[in-house]
């Protein structure tokens, strides 16, 4: 298993409901930086073994993992690599949203995910890793007739 120290911290977080301040204290040795929060998750940027990763905490973590599983083997619908998940935590590769990419790259990724029934493919949820475009936080469609 990669990043065992972060995994131990994730297990501590699973056992108790901690505030953002307490989580940052636990992640102290990884130079944590609070990225933001959504309806269901809080995200922290951490540095581990010269890599920049995203540590997500929330209720719908398994949704992200299922998106990653869906993207495996698909050359257009890419999802940022997930190293491991626990009940409420997830460790994922960091996608740099500041790097430039073409509209053609974005539209190909967006079209590939839309074919699978996902709707929240926007520039804020897409970034680059090693010069390739990846989605890292998308939502399944709530429209009738779409498959899981």
The pLDDT tens digits of the residues spanning 12-36 come to: 888 887 777 888 888 888 888 888 8
Task: Name the more confident of 148 and 113.
Answer: 113
pLDDT band at 145 (very low <50, low <70, confident <90, very high): very low
| Torsion sign over Cα 18, 53, 125, 110 | negative
Instruction: Supply the mean pLDDT for the chain.
Output: 85
**E strand or H helix at 89, and its extent?**
strand 89-93
pTM of the model: 0.83
Residue 90 has pLDDT above 70, yes or no: yes
Q: What is the CATH number of domain 4-135?
A: 3.30.200.20
Residue 125 has pLDDT above 60, yes or no: yes
Alpha-carbon distance 69 to 81, whole Å?
A: 9
Q: What are phi and psi of 14, to 5 degrees?
A: -60, -35
Tell me the per-residue pLDDT of 59-71, one tens digit each, with 9 for 90 and over.
878 888 888 888 8
Length of the chain: 148
Tell me the per-residue pLDDT of 96-119, one tens digit each, with 9 for 90 and over.
888 999 999 999 999 999 988 887
How far lies 108's CA from each of 28, 113, 134, in Å?
A: 39, 9, 11
pLDDT of residue 142: 55
The residue-averaged pLDDT of 121-141 equals 87
């Amino acid at each position: 298993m990669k990043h065992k120290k972060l995994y131990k911290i994730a297990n501590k977080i699973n056992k108790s409901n901690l505030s953002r301040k307490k989580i940052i204290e636990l992640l102290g040795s990884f130079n944590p930086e609070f990225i933001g929060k959504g309806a269901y998750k809080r995200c922290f940027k951490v540095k581990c073994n010269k890599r920049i990763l995203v540590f997500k905490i929330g209720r719908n973590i398994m949704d992200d993992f299922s998106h990653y599983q869906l993207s495996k083997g698909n050359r257009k619908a890419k999802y940022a690599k997930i190293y491991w998940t626990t009940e409420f935590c997830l460790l994922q590769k960091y996608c740099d949203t500041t790097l430039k990419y073409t509209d053609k790259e974005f539209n190909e990724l967006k079209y590939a995910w839309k074919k699978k029934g996902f709707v929240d493919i926007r520039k804020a949820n897409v970034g680059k890793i090693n010069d390739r475009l990846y989605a890292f936080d998308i939502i399944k469609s709530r429209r009738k007739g779409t498959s899981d």
